[in-house]
Every structure is written in C-alpha cells, then in structure tokens.
C-alpha cells in the first residue's frame, strides 16, 4: 500500500510539474531602427527648414545640376522609407550589431542573413541622438537576367545620395542622384 501511495504522489508531482498555471511570455526581441517613422519626422522637418536644394543627377556618366525651390520630400525619400526592415516577421532575418561611438552614442548595423531580402544592410550612426544622424543602406536584387544594387546615404544636415547600378545582359547602367540641402 505504501508503494502505491508513493507512486501516486510521484505521478501527481510529475503531472503538476508539467502544468503551467501562469502563462509564460517570450521576451520581445529588440526592434530594428524604425526608418519609416524616422523619415516621416524628417520629411516634416525638411518641409519647414529646407526650401531650396541643389540636385545633381548623373546617368551613365552624363551630369545635370539644378537648384530647386520646390521639392517633394515624400517622393524623394521614398527609397529610404521602402528600405525599412522593422517587421516582426523579419526579426530573425537580420544580424544586429551595436557599437559605441565615443561619448556620442552608438552605431547600429543590420545585415541580412537571407539572400532573398532586398535590403542587404543598414548602418545608422547616432540613432538615438536625432541631432547628427547618418544612415547608409544597401539594397540589392537579382534575377536571371538582371542584377541591381542601390546605395543610399542620408545625412540629416547635408542631404542624401542614391546610387543605382543595374546590369542587364552584359550592359551596365548607372544613376546617381545627389541632393544637398540649402537652408534659409
């Protein structure tokens, strides 16, 4: 009889150990730098502070430069916004590296771990300061016939550059757009 009670007690103990009365929640992963919201606020700031830009466009080595008084920052900065990787489904698809930058903040780097991801890397200097922010993005896409690589750089004081090189069946086309902010 004692052996049966001992076995019953052990079974009850094992069963109760397997039950979980309080739900356990996984700690949420740290989110990536939110490009979409950052550029939303930058667009609003630029509309107020930057009325004129110097825009230089180079297509296959031929350059044209203009000073523009009316620029649509939503359209111009759309490639940056489209590079946002801050999606819960992608939390395991990017390697995250954070490095201190002296006493001024840190550098956040995000590198794609899967080849099918268009945004290959994002490097953000001083993402928390919002004073001196510099963002570098590399986007790449490849099909059987084409390979396209776009490098984007944004400096919140100076302007931005978007450079695209596309290879199509042996031919190479390049486009570079450089926009410098001219403050009031």
**Can you give the residue ranges of every domain in the chain?**
31-183
Residue 19 confidence (pLDDT): 44
pLDDT (tens digit per residue) in 120-177 = 999 999 866 667 899 999 999 988 888 999 999 999 999 999 999 999 888 899 999 9
Closest CA to 140 of 112, 173, 178: 112
- Could you tell me which residues come within 8 angstroms of residue 81 by beta carbon, excluding any fewer than 6 positions away? 35, 36, 39, 40
Threshold 0.85, pTM exceeds: no
- Could you tell me which residues come within 8 angstroms of residue 136 by beta carbon, excluding any fewer than 6 positions away? 121, 122, 123, 151, 152, 153
Residue 6 confidence (pLDDT): 45
pLDDT (tens digit per residue) in 48-77 = 999 899 999 999 999 999 999 989 999 999
Mean pLDDT, all residues of the chain: 84
């Amino acid at each position: 009889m004692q052996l049966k009670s001992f076995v019953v007690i052990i079974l009850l103990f094992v069963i109760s150990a397997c039950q979980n009365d309080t739900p356990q929640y996984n700690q949420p992963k740290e989110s990536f730098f939110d490009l979409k919201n950052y550029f939303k606020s930058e667009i609003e700031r630029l509309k107020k502070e930057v009325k004129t830009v110097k825009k230089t466009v180079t297509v296959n080595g031929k350059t044209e430069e203009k000073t523009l008084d009316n620029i649509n920052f939503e359209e111009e900065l759309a490639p940056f916004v489209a590079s946002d990787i801050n999606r819960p489904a992608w939390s395991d698809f990017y390697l995250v590296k954070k490095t201190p930058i002296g006493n001024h903040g840190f550098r956040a780097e995000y590198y794609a771990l899967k080849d099918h991801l268009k945004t290959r890397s994002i490097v953000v200097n001083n993402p928390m300061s919002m004073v001196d922010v510099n963002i570098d993005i590399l986007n790449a896409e490849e099909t059987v016939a084409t390979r396209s690589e776009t490098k984007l750089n944004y400096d919140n004081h100076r302007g931005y550059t978007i450079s695209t090189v596309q290879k199509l069946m042996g031919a190479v086309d390049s486009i570079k757009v450089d926009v410098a902010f001219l403050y009031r």
